[in-house]
Amino acid sequence: MTGTGQEASIRAAGVVVFDSPGEATERRFLAVHRPHRHDWSLPKGKVDPGETTPCTAVRECDEETGYRVALGARLPSTHYVSGNMNKSVDYWVGHVREDEGFAPDEEVDEIRWVPVPEASAFLTYSDDAAIVRLAAGAPTTTPLIILRHAKAMKRGDFDGGDDADRPLSGRGRGEAKTLVDILDAYGIERVHSSPFKRCISTVSRFAKTIDTKIHPEPALGESGHESDPEATAARVGELLDSPAPTVLCTHRPVLPTVIASLARSLGLAETAIHDDPSWDSRLAPGAMIVVHREWTDAGPRALAVEQYQLPR
């Protein structure tokens, strides 16, 4: 409880969904009407126990509107008081993947595509309108996710001859299941991984879910990186240049080289990386860095970066 007498913050997440790319003045965003509040707002909702905010944003949009979306760039959060609780809402740009059909209920009884210039007049809350205007001016991006493998069996407990064969622990297998929904929330289409068993096992369930193959990357493995870190850096640069939504699964000792390579390729100063916690390479098992890439004539640049740890 805070000093003002208000309880701990409520966490929520939502999306700003547009009907098409193009100029902001020509686009429409998706709004929802909530009969119990008599308001027009953006698709959003509370985070369920054990759920990550990206998954919340995708789930709530699906439940409230029937639109299944993939997340684009992260937007600023909004903060306000709801009843006697502080509430924060994390937002992303949402790209429509599938329309499963709207079904009105007691939570949302109407949805509407609204021209961006009418956001302030149409939406009930000024913060929502500000988020829409900001999102409408953002360029299209595609994600590159740097993922540390899920928790593996301890080295001391593994009696195999080759550490490359060391498997995930029971907890790690559970983390791999959790990662399926998170990776899918960003619309990942390509899966590249260290050939070590613990990395392949981290992404194999997701790869099966989207019916794609895993591309083994020896340069992302611990032994490949140890023997030739420059080859690791070069391969990361090549994968950065592919516009497909991609995940790279690797190891803790390899992450500093991966991050440094991305920084150089994106034209970021080392001081910028060191001062931004989103780029911190000391990832826990199953944690990830999501780089939202904007494509320019000079190549990709990082429009937004976010980091996620799995719920513990």
Coil, helix or strand at residue 199 = helix
CB-count exposure of residue 279 (10 Å: 0-12, 13-18, 19+): buried
For 164-183, what is each residue's pLDDT tens digit?
A: 999 999 999 999 999 999 99
Is pTM beyond 0.95 here? no
Q: Could you read off the pLDDT of 51-60 as tens digits, one per residue? A: 999 999 999 9
* Orientation angle between helical segments 197-209 and 170-185, nearest 10 degrees: 40
> Does residue 4 have a pLDDT over 60?
no
CA angle 19, 107, 66 (to 5 degrees): 35
* CA distance readout (Å), 238 to 200, 228, 292: 20, 16, 16
Would you place residue 2 in the very low, low, confident or very high pLDDT band (cuts 50, 70, 90)? very low
Q: Are 120 and 129 in contact (CB under 8 A)?
A: yes
Report how far residue 257's alpha carbon sits from residue 114's, in angstroms, rounded to the nearest whole number.
Answer: 45
DSSP E strands in the chain: the ranges are 7-17, 28-34, 39-41, 44-46, 67-82, 85-99, 110-115, 141-148, 190-193, 214-216, 246-250, 288-296, 299-308
Percent share of the chain, pLDDT over 70: 96
Q: What is the CATH number of domain 7-136?
A: 3.90.79.10
pLDDT exceeds 80 at position 287: yes
* Model confidence at 14: pLDDT above 60: yes
Instruction: State mean pLDDT over 203-224.
Output: 98
Higher pLDDT, 2 or 89: 89
CA distance 303 to 141: 8
- Map out the domains of the chain as residue ranges: 7-136, 141-308
Average pLDDT of the chain is 93
Residues above pLDDT 90, as percent of the chain:
82
pLDDT of residue 8: 65
At the second CATH level, the architecture of 141-308 is 3-Layer(aba) Sandwich (3.40)
Strands 44-46 and 7-17: antiparallel
Q: From CA 134, how far away is CA 141, in angstroms rounded?
A: 15
- Give me the amino acid identity at 299: G
> What distance in Å separates the CA atoms of residue 74 and residue 68, rounded to the nearest whole number?
17
Rounded CA Rg of the chain: 21
Each residue's pLDDT tens digit, 114-169: 999 999 999 999 999 999 999 999 889 999 999 999 999 998 899 888 999 999 99
Distance CA 295, CA 277 (A): 24
On the 0-12 / 13-18 / 19+ scale of CB atoms within 10 A, 198 is buried
- Mean pLDDT within 214-236: 98
How confident is the model over 83-93, as a mean pLDDT? 91
Quick one: which of 229, 222, 230, 233 has its CA closest to 198?
A: 222
Using a 10 angstrom Cβ sphere, with 0-12 exposed, 13-18 middle and 19 or more buried, the burial of residue 139 is middle
